Amino acid sequence: MREKLIYQRKKKIRKWLYLFLMISIIVLVFFAKLFLPGFFKSLSIFNLKNVIIEPTDYASIVLDYISLPEGVNVLSINMPEIYSRIRQLYFVEDCFIEKHLPDTLLIRLKIRKPWVLIVDSETIVTMDRNGYFLPAGENFVGWVVEGIKAGSTGERSLEQGKIDVLKEIEQWYNYYRIASIFKIDKISLGDLDKIELKSWQESIYIHSEEIEKQMAVAKEVLSDCRKNNFPLEYIDVRFKEPYIKERMIQQ
Q: Which tens digit of pLDDT belongs to each residue from 41-70?
A: 556 688 888 999 999 999 999 999 998 887
Task: State which residues of the chain have pLDDT below 50.
Answer: 35-36, 39-40
What local confidence, expressed as pLDDT, does residue 39 receive?
A: 47
Task: State how far the Cα of 222 lies from the Cα of 202, in Å rounded to an integer.
Answer: 11
pTM exceeding 0.85: no
Q: Single out the residue of 137, 154, 139 nearest to residue 92, CA to CA.
A: 154
What local confidence, expressed as pLDDT, does residue 29 receive?
A: 59
Task: State how far the Cα of 32 lies from the Cα of 75, in Å rounded to an integer.
Answer: 15
Q: Which long-range contacts (CB under 8 A, 24 or more apart) does 93-100 make?
A: 93/128, 93/130, 93/132, 99/74, 99/75
For the chain, the structural domain boundaries read 44-111, 116-246
Given a contact cutoff of 8 angstroms between Cβ atoms, the answer to whether 68 and 48 are in contact is: yes
What local confidence, expressed as pLDDT, does residue 40 receive?
A: 46
What local confidence, expressed as pLDDT, does residue 45 receive?
A: 81
Length of the chain as a residue count: 251
Q: What is the CATH number of domain 44-111?
A: 3.10.20.310
Task: State how far the Cα of 148 lies from the Cα of 127, in Å rounded to an integer.
Answer: 10
Given a contact cutoff of 8 angstroms between Cβ atoms, the answer to whether 85 and 65 are in contact is: yes
What local confidence, expressed as pLDDT, does residue 7 receive?
A: 59
What local confidence, expressed as pLDDT, does residue 57 receive?
A: 93
Task: State how far the Cα of 4 lies from the Cα of 24, in Å rounded to an integer.
Answer: 30
Given a contact cutoff of 8 angstroms between Cβ atoms, the answer to whether 189 and 197 are in contact is: no
Task: State how far the Cα of 235 lies from the Cα of 202, in Å rounded to an integer.
Answer: 8
Q: What are phi and psi of 250, to 5 degrees?
A: -75, 135
What local confidence, expressed as pLDDT, does residue 216 receive?
A: 97
Q: What are phi and psi of 89, to 5 degrees?
A: -70, 130
**pLDDT tens digits along 171-203:** 999 999 999 999 999 999 999 999 999 998 999
What local confidence, expressed as pLDDT, does residue 137 receive?
A: 81
Kindly state which CATH superfamily the domain 116-246 is placed in.
Cell division protein FtsQ/DivIB (3.40.50.11690)
Count of CA atoms in the C-beta half-sphere (13 A) of 166: 28
Given a contact cutoff of 8 angstroms between Cβ atoms, the answer to whether 153 and 90 are in contact is: yes
Given a contact cutoff of 8 angstroms between Cβ atoms, the answer to whether 205 and 242 are in contact is: no
What local confidence, expressed as pLDDT, does residue 138 receive?
A: 79
Q: Give the helix ranges, DSSP H, for 42-94.
A: 59-66, 79-87
Q: What are phi and psi of 36, to 5 degrees?
A: -65, -45
What local confidence, expressed as pLDDT, does residue 149 receive?
A: 95
> Roughly what angle, to the nearest 10 degrees, separates helices 211-227 and 160-175?
40
